[in-house]
């Protein structure tokens, strides 16, 4: 990578780290990093969401099978140091505020954009740590990029030669709420508190 290309990448990643985009995981040495893989940055206009099918630890998971349930979706990766565990903890905390009857109508989904490291087994172990109503999903890089674009999520894989991990991701950190009819209804930032999220879930359950 030339000096000019590194400068452009550095400028681009700095913009990605601005609070306006609510992005996490930016490397402190991005001027020395090499961009390897990225999703589409944003959808044109408000994201529309939509149906998808990915692999879980059990049978394949399809959003259309969740008809009648409120589904919360988060895109991330299990090696994420801060944003992913924080957001899944908020989701789990929101779930803990629901009754057993309400939990039966709610599903949390963690879609990994790191299929190279996040196997189905690794995802199950990771999501089980937070809450039994959260499942991990994976697929091919092409499938994941397509789904991320539908929801307005994006990610950039950055090589870190000096790190044992080899690479990290800079990525969006929103949680997407899909109502019982499969519609992407609300988007919450990583600063949303669990009470607000649980109240939103209840509000959509009452609409059924």
**Residues facing residue 112 across a β-bridge:** 76
Q: What contacts 24+ positions apart, CB below 8 Å, involve 14-22?
A: 16/156, 16/170, 17/170, 21/172, 22/172, 22/173, 22/174, 22/189, 22/190, 22/191
**Residue 182 confidence (pLDDT) above 50:** yes
**Residue 108 confidence (pLDDT) above 60:** yes
Q: Give the pLDDT confidence score for residue 160 in this predicted structure.
A: 82
28-52 tens-digit pLDDT: 334 433 444 555 544 556 889 999 9
Write down the pTM of the prediction: 0.81
**C-alpha span between 126 and 24 (Å, rounded):** 19
**Residues facing residue 151 across a β-bridge:** none
Q: Are the C-beta atoms of 48 and 63 separated by less than 8 Å?
A: no
Q: Give the pLDDT confidence score for residue 36 in this predicted structure.
A: 44
């Amino acid at each position: 990578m030339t000096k000019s290309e590194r400068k452009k990448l550095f400028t681009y990643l700095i913009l990605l780290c601005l609070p306006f985009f609510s992005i996490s995981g930016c490397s402190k040495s991005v001027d020395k990093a090499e961009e390897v893989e990225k999703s589409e940055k944003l959808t044109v206009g408000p994201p529309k969401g939509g149906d998808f099918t990915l692999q879980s630890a059990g049978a394949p998971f399809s959003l259309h099978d969740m008809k009648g349930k409120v589904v919360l979706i988060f895109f991330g990766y299990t090696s994420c140091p801060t944003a992913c565990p924080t957001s899944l903890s908020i989701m789990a905390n929101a779930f803990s505020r629901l009754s057993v009857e309400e939990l039966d109508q709610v599903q949390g989904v963690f879609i990994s954009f790191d299929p190279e490291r996040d196997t189905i087994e690794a995802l199950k172990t990771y999501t089980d740590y937070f809450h039994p109503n959260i499942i991990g999903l994976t697929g091919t890089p092409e499938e994941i990029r397509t789904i991320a674009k539908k929801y307005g999520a994006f990610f950039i894989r950055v090589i870190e030669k000096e790190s044992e991990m080899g690479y990290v991701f800079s990525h969006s950190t929103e949680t997407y709420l899909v109502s019982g009819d499969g519609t992407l209804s609300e988007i919450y930032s990583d600063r949303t508190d669990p009470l607000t999220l649980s109240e939103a879930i209840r509000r959509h359950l009452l609409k059924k």
